Amino acid sequence: MKDADNEGYRSFARGGLTAVVTVNSGALVALVSQLSSLKDPSNGPCLKASFICWVAGIVLGLLAWATAAAAAQSFANEKYRREAFFAAAGFLLFFLSILSFIAGVGFVFQAVFPS
């Protein structure tokens, strides 16, 4: 792979990782800012679950960031098997972070619009 191609991939990875950490963090801040208006006791379990999902999403996004850095370092040191492992782990963590965000949104939706 050419260095220019690798830099392009790294740029996309940085943007994606920044996005997953930002959306989970933003959702968490929005939830905390609205807690006083959602204090109905029946909302508690769903709000708690959404809080946990978004915190998990932040942690997963940060772990994905670390694995992306490890993959880049492995590429630079020409350790391609190690690079492939960290890249795969990073993708998995990235997608789990997105799923955590979606799950958190689902729990908030249940809290606001109970069936």
pLDDT tens sequence across 68-86: 889 988 988 889 999 999 9
pTM: 0.84
Cα–Cα distance, 85 to 65 (Å, whole number): 14
Can you give the residue range of the structural domain that contains 20? Answer: 3-112
pLDDT digits (tens, 9 = 90+) for 11-60: 777 888 889 899 999 998 988 888 777 777 777 899 999 999 999 999 99
User: Could you tell me the pLDDT band of residue 115, with boundaries at 50, 70 and 90?
Assistant: confident
HSE-up of 74 (CA within 13 Å, CB side)?
16
Tokens of 55: 């915190």
Which amino acid is present at 99? L
| Exposure of 70 in the CB half-sphere (CA atoms within 13 A) | 16
Q: Which residue has the tokens 């492939």?
A: 84
Q: Is the pLDDT of residue 1 over 60?
A: no
Total count of domains within the chain: 1
Kindly give, in sequence order, each residue whose CB lies less than 8 Å from that of residue 17, ignoring residues fewer than 6 positions away: 61, 64, 65, 68, 94
Q: In terms of Cα–Cα distance, which of 22, 10, 16 is closest to 93?
A: 16
Which pLDDT belongs to residue 3? 66
